[in-house]
Amino acid sequence: MDLPVLWFVIIAVFWTGFFVLEGFDFGVGALHTWIGRDEAGRRAAINAIGPLWDGNEVWLITAGAATFAAFPAWYATWFSALYLALVLVLVALIIRGVSFEFRGKVDSSRWRSTWTATMVVGSILAPLLIGVGLGDLLAGLPIDASGEFTGTFIDLLTPFGLLLGATLLALSLLHGSTFLAVKTDGEVRDRALRAASGLRWAAAVLVIAAAAATWSLGGRTVLAAVLGALSVIGAVAAVVAIGRRRDGWSFVATAVTIGATVAALFAGLYPDVLVSSTDPAYSLTVAGTASGQYALTVMTWVAVVLFPVVLIYQGWTAYVFRARVSSRAALQTTIPAA
């Protein structure tokens, strides 16, 4: 495997890891006001992801930075095309992050309801918009011979992009509800299970549709077929496990499903990195957009050293905060007004 291909795989791993880890954070943020019927329940839901969400979000930053460093031409075209959408993603992530930090700072129902609303909106918009942007890579955007985006914002709303965005949003909601079933107890856990039960069929249908569309649009390789099939198998397994109220297996199944859905996209995309809807000859490829050999070599050694450290850190964090969160204890962590 040459270095450009290796870094394409690494970037695919970053995006896959981002949705597996941050996906349940998005789901919890979007559902916390419904799953938690009172302040104690909502606080329990938020506290379940409190030690994890900001570390999980680093995978998004790393995916963008790795794309910039390893494939500058891909980064320039894709991020320029998505400029307006990226602004919306950043706003969604900002208001969501601020909501986690500010929501409990003042003992006021109006204050909490405001930050609750921003958390829900940010948690819904982020996976939806990011999913549309990822789907556009395979669906194709109007790119000319010089690699310039020649379309408008409307051109970003491709049918496959919208399908993938809706699929990743639905999977994030399902992933978040199964995570809360594992991490909480009492009424919050019961409502999380009910939410997962209500979401599972819609998510499964979207996964099947996304897998079929990915196979139809992308390179029909063995790896793409295996990953697409794995996403469907994971969705079916999630439906069964949720129906049997198997908390742990439900969470594992939704993790496999969302991870395989994203990975299948990149498997179907290769050897392109961004398809041109203007002319297939203008599509950006792995080989044509990669940085020089020296830059990729240095990046590879840095990744060899640091990537295991990141995995160990996140694994240790998950282990330390593995205990279930109770509603009573969560309410006691609310910070009163100064």
The pLDDT tens digits of the residues spanning 88-111 come to: 999 999 999 899 888 878 878 888
Residue 216 belongs to a domain: no
Residue 136 belongs to a domain: yes
Residue-wise pLDDT for 246-260, tens only, equals: 989 999 999 999 999
Q: Is the dihedral of CA 23, 24, 26, 31 positive or negative?
A: positive
pLDDT for position 334:
47
pLDDT of 330 > 80? The answer is no
pLDDT for position 193:
93
- In whole angstroms, what is the distance from residue 318 CA to residue 310 CA? 12
pLDDT of 297 > 60? The answer is yes
More confident residue, 335 or 132: 132
pLDDT of 176 > 60? The answer is yes
Residue 335 belongs to a domain: no
What range does the domain containing 29 cover?
3-193+268-325
- In whole angstroms, what is the distance from residue 88 CA to residue 159 CA? 19
Residue 89 belongs to a domain: yes
Residue 225 belongs to a domain: no
- In whole angstroms, what is the distance from residue 196 CA to residue 179 CA? 10
Residue 238 belongs to a domain: no
Cα distances from 194 to residues 81, 87, 202, in angstroms, run: 40, 34, 14
Overall number of domains in the chain = 1
Percent of the chain with pLDDT over 70: 96
- In whole angstroms, what is the distance from residue 88 CA to residue 125 CA? 8
pLDDT of 337 > 50? The answer is no
**Confidence tier at 1 by pLDDT (50, 70, 90):** low
Average pLDDT estimate for 302-310: 90
Residue 63 belongs to a domain: yes
Residue 177 belongs to a domain: yes
